[in-house]
Amino acid sequence: MLSLWKNIIMLNFSLLKHLDYHQRFLQKRVQISDIFLVWWCVRDLLLWISKDPLDIDFTCEWKPEELDAQINTQWLSHFKTDKFWTITLIPSTEKERSYQLTPLRTEWDYEDFRHPWEINWSNDILLDAKRRDFSINAMYYFSVEQKTKKELDYVKENSKILSESDLLKVLKTQWYCYFSDINLLILTDWQFISQVFPQSHFDEYAFRYLVETQNECYVIWNQTEKKSEKLFRVVIDSTWWIESMIHRKLTTVWNPDQRFWEDALRLIRGLRLVNVCNYQLLQLDKKNKSKKAEKWNPDKVQLFDFSAETWESIKKNTPLLAHVAKERIKEELCKPFIKWNPFAFVVLLDASGMLPILFPALAKTKFVDQPIRYHAFDVYTHIMLSLKAIQEMNSDYLVRLAMLYHDVWKVAQYAAYDWAKTKEEKQMIFSWPLNHRESSPVLMKEDFSALGFSKKEIETIERYIHEHHTPGEILNSHPNNWIKKVRKLYSEKWYEMVNNLFDINIADRLWQENPLQNSSDLTDSYYLKELLNQLKNSEWQFEMKDLVIDGEKLMKHFKLQPSHLVWELLKQAFDRVLTDINDRNNEKEIFNYLENYIKNRKKAE
């Protein structure tokens, strides 16, 4: 079937049949027949990304309070939000799947560049499409069982398989197109849409009339046998999203400036939509190529871009982000870092002019050269390449964000090179507050607090940045001490954080391109990860509380009063036991060692 790739429609309309089950399920539960599936679930099927979408968005004409009251919630988790009356349904047998219903509506008078002043519930699907942000978010799919037993008698002889360009020609001249093999009608003309869906209710006779008056016969695939279809299927495209999907261009619904003035958050959302689509297409391409699937043979996967008008409008309107609540901006920023492609997303932020607004400290690292004997790239390039490396090995969004800011203080650190003349002044560059390891977290706190990150998130990112050189310090010590140092780090930071630090170290080293080191040979860093896993599998996480002695026993044995010396002795005992937990964690061994330590300490004094 896919061997005809270059001759068929790249958008796979036949996969939309996989939505029919969900349509029937919702029609029975909501007790409304005229339900439209929208947005991502339609897009994922058309782009071949999924045959079983887990997030199903749908809409219909109804007053929210009445609709909520009539839903059959048996075996469903059911809750709603007050703002747009979005109702979420989660089947108890499929908790990973969710259905979200937002009734058809219109929006007017966006006075604060973010929120509509007036929201009205509507019975017009065309008005609902008109208020949406981007054309690919204005997809509507409808299917319903035939009420009459009379099948459509439509001639299939000499039926054509349309190419993408021919499909667009048909839609722009005839304003609709019918595929007889799957009983699917595509509508683009507002008048035809209103005829088939008067007040958003399906008119079977209008459907049949358009089918019978179609000029030519079309099918999705060449099929020798006609399949009896018991469903009518309709795709509504009043905003020309099919053209946007075919050309892989993100376009707004109507005037882009108006869309962004209405809601400035759409500026970031547009970048995220392109990021999500391209990530999923690349993953799909990678998956199929790894299987060497004979049926999947495009020369090159075609990715999404922005239409020229939309892109220029995004760049022009970036100052409008000042009107958006930081919590909403943070929510949009985190999504690519959590699941998609943060590297490509930050590149789009930079190209659009949003980077200095959202990540000012990162933007200042551009074109800041580093000592060539340690780094081959400027600070920004190194950070971005390190981010690209970390996202391929670690999915923790806080780790990825830490990588984004791990070197931002180097701007100030390298500026100090110009005035540092004496040996003492040069040493200051590598100590607090000029050292980037110590002060990069300061800039991170400022920028991430302004974006609404929580205290807990900021503290976690801070630890990663502050400790990102620790694995390198372990590697610079004698290899005989590595196991001890990894065990100590493991006891202090827990497994997940230490493992993340080792990933950060690998990504950081990978893109130093240090001419004095072999950046491609990271076997020592990977060996640290191996040591950590060995400790996790063979030992428990040994902590100070696991010592057989404590401060009370120390004071009693050495006749000491509470003082800093007690803590110093406990720390010495802990460090010694870490080298051999099984043999050295006993009172006699520890007290003998500490007695010698105290004697040597007194001699030194």
206 domain-assigned: yes
Pick from 492, 523, 541: which residue ends a domain?
Answer: 541
How sure is the predictor about 37, in pLDDT bands with cuts at 50, 70 and 90? Answer: very high
| Structure-token match 């909403």, residue found | 328
**Residues 432, 302 share a domain:** no
Pick from 186, 214, 247: which residue ends a domain?
Answer: 247
- Count Cβ atoms within 10 A of the Cβ of residue 161 and give its class: 0-12 exposed, 13-18 middle, 19 or more buried: middle
144, β-bridge pairs: 232
Q: What is the pLDDT of residues 38-73, one digit of tens each?
A: 988 999 999 988 888 888 899 988 777 777 778 877
Q: What is the pLDDT of residues 188-219, one digit of tens each?
A: 999 999 999 998 899 999 998 898 888 888 88
N- to C-terminal Cα distance for the chain? 85
Give the Cα separation of 455 and 126 in Å (integer).
44
Pick from 352, 367, 392: which residue ends a domain?
Answer: 352
**Residues 181, 138 share a domain:** yes
253 domain-assigned: no
Give the Cα separation of 404 and 448 in Å (integer).
11
**Residues 125, 43 share a domain:** yes
**Residues 378, 512 share a domain:** yes
58 domain-assigned: yes
**Residues 391, 272 share a domain:** no
218 domain-assigned: yes
**Is residue 3 predicted with pLDDT exceeding 50?**
no
Give the Cα separation of 46 and 86 in Å (integer).
25
Tokens standing for residue 231: 């469903």
How sure is the predictor about 223, in pLDDT bands with cuts at 50, 70 and 90? Answer: low
- Spell out the residues 6+ positions from residue 78 whose beta carbon is closer than 8 angstroms to its own: 71, 87, 88, 89, 90
**Residues 179, 302 share a domain:** no
232 domain-assigned: yes
**Residues 459, 446 share a domain:** yes
φ, ψ at 240 (rounded to 5°): 60, 40
Taking the CA atoms of 256, 257, 259 and 260 in sequence, report the sign of the dihedral they define: positive
How sure is the predictor about 288, in pLDDT bands with cuts at 50, 70 and 90? Answer: confident
Q: Over the chain, what is the mean pLDDT?
A: 84
**Residues 207, 90 share a domain:** yes
**Residues 453, 400 share a domain:** yes
Q: What is the pLDDT of residues 126-163, one digit of tens each?
A: 988 888 889 999 999 999 888 776 666 555 566 788 88
Q: What is the pLDDT of residues 416-456, one digit of tens each?
A: 666 656 666 666 666 556 666 677 888 999 999 999 999 99
Number of domains in the chain: 4
- Spell out the residues 6+ positions from residue 275 whose beta carbon is closer than 8 angstroms to its own: 336, 340, 341, 344, 345, 348
Q: What is the DSSP letter of 78?
A: E
Looking up residue 92, the CATH number of its domain turns out to be: 3.30.460.10
**Residues 264, 307 share a domain:** yes
Looking up residue 444, the CATH number of its domain turns out to be: 1.10.3210
Domain range enclosing 300: 258-352
CB 391 within 8 A of CB 400: yes
301 domain-assigned: yes
591 domain-assigned: yes
Q: What is the DSSP letter of 252?
A: B
65 domain-assigned: yes
Give the Cα separation of 548 and 470 in Å (integer).
28
pLDDT (0 to 100) of residue 432: 56
Give the Cα separation of 6 and 449 in Å (integer).
50
**Residues 40, 180 share a domain:** yes
**Residues 560, 525 share a domain:** no
pTM of the model: 0.82
